[in-house]
Amino acid sequence: MGPRNFGRFQFQRGLSAIHYTSAVPARPLPFFVLLLALTLVVPINASAGGVAGDAERASLRLRYGLALREGAQESGPAVTYGGMTPNDVALGATVFGEGWLGAWAGVQREGLSLSKDAQLVTGGGLLRASVGPAARVFLGPVRAELSAGYGFAQLPVFSGSGQVQLVPTARHAALVGARVLVPLPWRLRAEVRGEVPVAIGSSSSGFAAGGALLVPVMRRGGWGGALVLDYQYVRDAVTTAEGLTSRQVISRAGVAFELSLGGGGEGAARPSPETGELFLSVVDADSGQALPDARVVLTAGGVAQAPRVVGSDGRVAGVVLPPGEVLARVSVGGYLPAEARATVTAGGLSELVVRARQEPHVGTLLVRVVDSSSGAPLPGAAVFVGSSKVLTDAAGQVRVEGLTPGPLEVKILAEGFRAVQEAVVIADRTETELPVPLVLAKQSAPATLSGQVRSVRKGKPLRAWLVIPEARLRRRTDPKGSFQVQLKQGRYRLVFSAPGHLSQTKVVTVHDGEQAIFNVDLFPQTR
């Protein structure tokens, strides 16, 4: 089995006084069974308390304990052995960035000696090493890690040329593993892990499973320390090219100290039986994606706390609060303000998800209606925008909000004046101004032609030229592609052209005082 205990870097060294004995397979200790049961129950009762150190960026674990080994070789020199290693030492580490991807590596050395009747028969050292990437995912306060990589292990095989000799046999394997961290009451954490090697170029099998109980004991700035009660169960089997088959079972139990960097859930503020903890996530209301850099203000007991900024995973963990209702107000760029409430229980861990919705894509239109002859504002003029009718104020103005971006037709009516219909383009999250001069109904006035020139490619406005030969008029549209010309009564040809597009000609007949609106769509030239 690969050396990656906890999915972390390891070093182990020890000396086993192993004697010929009957092979009795070692079984996982009751501690592991109890720990596994606790882990299965805790996600259902997560509100009872605890915290998952899900924001940690690196961890280092030094372990010391006992290892109980049982093994046998069935062919060649038949060897059956069993014994305990009192100096079982391990070192483990993981590194993660701000996101979900990280890495692990490992090495360990195991001492082994075979004795009979207090006489040393053979001995030596066994080396294990492994390396690979890891990925983590958060399921509420629970953290899961998946890992894969390469593992090298020397497994015990014995030769029989005269005297029994230990021949370490290499196994190269692809390692696949997983680890789950679950919060328990009183800030404890439970850990369950497993690993399976897929041998490369050899006949071998095996697996490793284990569990641990983590007890936080210190926090200094971004660093934290925890006491770890650990258990691991390992099975190995290998068949050499010469046909020798060897099997072994190892049970390890020990105590470790883990040093971690990051992990806001284990910060300096520690809950007491009179306080609780809050685990908060900020997500997009439609997609459920995390919203990093959101600003969160928590109000508990009627007191607003200092603003907090969520991390790259959209989470704030381990906030110690008094029991009762807490209000979370969230603001993040491009989203509407959002808020949500949760109830914090004494000695418990509460989870709150705040769902924010994106700001709508709308614009505003400001219409100014004036007398064309005097320039005086016209109050009380009716402005029709879609199905809505709004009257201008004393300044001859009206503001319409919440309009969908894009082309829009506006109709203006005022008593004693000619009706006008205008075309305007509404911009996203921008106020568009539309000045409208009205002509008296009895006054002879030229016809007004207006509209917009666009490309058929995504409707992009074009800076185009308008030529009217009969009126000897040549005019360029504004940057938004809009144009407006006044003509005497008659029949005209309007020629529109723009760089990279085919020209288009329209023939129109206009009458005095008439208002005509049309849009022109030009096709791109093909090569």
Other Cβ atoms less than 10 A from the Cβ of 501: the count is 19
Q: Do the domains at 5-263 and 273-356 have one common CATH topology? A: no
Taking the C-alpha atoms of residue 17 and residue 25, their distance in angstroms, rounded to an integer, is 18
The burial of 85, by beta-carbon neighbours within 10 Å (0-12 exposed, 13-18 middle, 19 or more buried), is given as buried
pLDDT tens figures, 346-393: 878 888 999 999 888 888 999 999 998 889 999 999 999 988 899 999
Q: Which residues contact 390 (CB under 8 A, 6 or more apart)?
A: 382, 383, 398, 400
For the domain with range 360-443, which CATH number is right: 2.40.30.10, 3.20.20.70, 2.60.40.1120, 3.40.50.920?
2.60.40.1120
Q: Which CATH class is domain 5-263?
A: mainly beta
pLDDT of residue 140: 65
pLDDT of residue 522: 92
pLDDT of residue 350: 86
pLDDT of residue 273: 62
The DSSP 8-state label assigned to residue 6 in this structure reads G
Q: Which residues contact 122 (CB under 8 A, 6 or more apart)?
A: 113, 114, 158, 163, 164, 165, 166
pLDDT of residue 333: 87
pLDDT of residue 462: 92
Taking the C-alpha atoms of residue 256 and residue 175, their distance in angstroms, rounded to an integer, is 24
pLDDT tens figures, 441-471: 766 678 888 899 999 887 889 999 999 999 9
DSSP-derived secondary structure for 161-189: SSS-EEEEEEEEEEEEEEEEEEE-GGG-E
Q: Outline where 367-475 has alpha helix (H).
A: none
Please give the torsion angle defined by the CA atoms of residues 32, 38, 43 and 45, in that order, rounded to the nearest 10 degrees: -170
Q: For domain 445-527, give the CATH superfamily.
A: Carboxypeptidase-like, regulatory domain (2.60.40.1120)
Mean pLDDT by 10 residues, the chain (527 residues): 37 40 37 40 33 61 85 83 78 80 84 78 82 84 87 86 82 91 84 89 84 85 81 90 86 87 50 76 91 91 87 81 92 90 86 89 90 91 90 94 87 90 84 89 78 88 93 92 90 93 91 82 85
pLDDT of residue 263: 61
Whether 427 and 444 have beta carbons less than 8 Å apart is answered as no
Q: For domain 273-356, give the CATH superfamily.
A: Immunoglobulins (2.60.40.10)
Taking the C-alpha atoms of residue 498 and residue 187, their distance in angstroms, rounded to an integer, is 70
> Nearest 5°: CA angle at 264, between 318 and 277?
5
The burial of 154, by beta-carbon neighbours within 10 Å (0-12 exposed, 13-18 middle, 19 or more buried), is given as buried
Taking the C-alpha atoms of residue 492 and residue 295, their distance in angstroms, rounded to an integer, is 60
pLDDT of residue 91: 83
Whether 71 and 249 have beta carbons less than 8 Å apart is answered as yes
- Where are the chain's structural domains? 5-263, 273-356, 360-443, 445-527
DSSP SS3 for 47: helix
**Identity of residue 126:** L
Phi and psi angles of residue 405, each rounded to the nearest 5 degrees, phi first: -55, 145
